[in-house]
């Protein structure tokens, strides 16, 4: 047997398989840790001072430079301050469902919960606000073959009019409409297009909330731009309505 002829007494295929298994194990371990840069460590229900790192511990902090002069972020880092959970656990230990103590849609409970995000608008690659109303962006318009809901009524889940569409907000990055701006009498509110259905005559149907709840949708600080935090709160309000808008929605089907 010549020098280096290891294939005569070593199963190369089996060695390659073992090497792959070891590599794959460390790959999964690495990806699992990297996935915990945000949202970790976990906080146990009702025990704000008890944090759980999970399997494998936490990754080494890494600093990311943000685009458009927005500074930098180090992750994992100090967790942003969260809002008070206005709900009580229905059981003696962690993991039990919670029962809201107030208005869950306003308090951010369950499907109406929102995450703490920056009070800054999402930006395009050019550093401009990504989501804006058509009144400040003349480059976009409604396709002539599509219904234009501007000036049309918004009908809520109770069959009543909750407001009137006054404008549409376009996503400059992928051009599509993200929100409809609705006049509710006491100013305007945003309605996510994913929570609405536009009929051929332009009328907008909303199944998630009642007509009287449109006025409770979070307001914008700037009428011509929406921040990441405002987007989260607005979407959470409509999402919460799918469970909390009417009393009968809270009960189980079975």
Q: What is the 3-state secondary structure (H, E, C) of 187-228?
A: CEEEEEHHHCEECCCCCEECCCCCHHHHHHCCCCCECCECEH
pLDDT for res 233: 96
pLDDT value at 9 more than 80: no
- Helix spans in the chain (H): 12-34, 104-107, 228-244
Q: How confident is the model at residue 3 (pLDDT cuts 50, 70, 90)?
A: low
* Residue 219 near residue 233 (C-beta atoms within 8 A): no
pLDDT at 133: 96
CA–CA gap between residue 246 and residue 158 (Å, rounded):
9
Listed by start position, the domains of the chain span 116-248
Superfamily (CATH) of domain 116-248: Photosynthetic Reaction Center, subunit H, domain 2 (3.90.50.10)
What confidence tens digit (pLDDT) does each residue in 178-203 have? 999 999 998 999 999 999 999 999 99
pLDDT of residue 46: 58
At residue 11, does pLDDT exceed 60?
A: yes
Q: Is the pLDDT of residue 170 over 90?
A: yes
Q: What is the mean pLDDT of residues 97-111?
A: 88
Predicted local confidence at residue 57, as pLDDT: 85
What predicted TM-score, i.e. pTM, was given to this entire model?
A: 0.81
Percent of the chain with pLDDT over 70: 93
CA distances from 71 to 47, 76, 225 (A): 33, 16, 21
pLDDT band at residue 75, thresholds of 50, 70 and 90?
confident
Q: Given this model, what pLDDT does residue 51 score?
A: 72
| pLDDT average, residue stretch 118-128 | 90
Residue 161 has pLDDT above 70, yes or no: yes
Q: Confidence band (pLDDT; 50, 70, 90) for 80?
A: confident
How does residue 10 score in pLDDT terms, banded at 50, 70 and 90?
confident
**Taking residues 100-125, what's their average pLDDT?**
90
Kindly state the average pLDDT of the residues 122-146. 91
């Amino acid at each position: 047997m010549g020098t280096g002829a290891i294939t005569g007494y070593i199963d190369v295929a089996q060695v390659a398989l073992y090497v792959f298994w070891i590599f794959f194990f460390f790959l999964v371990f690495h990806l699992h840790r990297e996935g915990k840069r945000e949202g970790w460590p976990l906080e146990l229900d009702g025990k704000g001072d008890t944090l759980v790192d999970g399997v494998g511990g936490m990754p080494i902090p890494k600093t990311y430079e943000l685009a458009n002069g927005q500074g930098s972020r180090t992750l994992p880092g100090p967790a942003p301050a969260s809002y008070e959970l206005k709900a009580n656990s229905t059981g003696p230990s962690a993991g039990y469902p919670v029962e809201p103590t107030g208005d869950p849609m306003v308090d951010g409970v369950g499907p109406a919960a929102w995450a703490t995000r920056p009070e800054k608008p999402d930006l395009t690659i050019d550093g401009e606000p990504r989501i804006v109303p058509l009144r400040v962006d003349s480059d976009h318009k409604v396709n002539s073959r599509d219904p234009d809901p501007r000036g049309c009524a918004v009908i809520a889940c109770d069959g009543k009019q909750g407001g009137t569409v006054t404008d549409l907000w376009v996503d400059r990055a992928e051009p599509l409409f993200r929100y409809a701006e609705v006049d509710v009498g006491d100013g305007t509110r945003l309605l996510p297009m994913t929570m609405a259905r536009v009929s051929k005559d332009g009328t907008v149907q909303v199944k998630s909330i009642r007509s009287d709840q449109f006025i409770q949708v979070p307001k914008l600080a700037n009428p011509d731009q929406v921040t990441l935090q405002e987007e989260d709160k607005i979407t959470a309000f409509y999402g919460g309505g799918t469970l909390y808008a009417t009393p009968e929605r809270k009960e189980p089907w079975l």
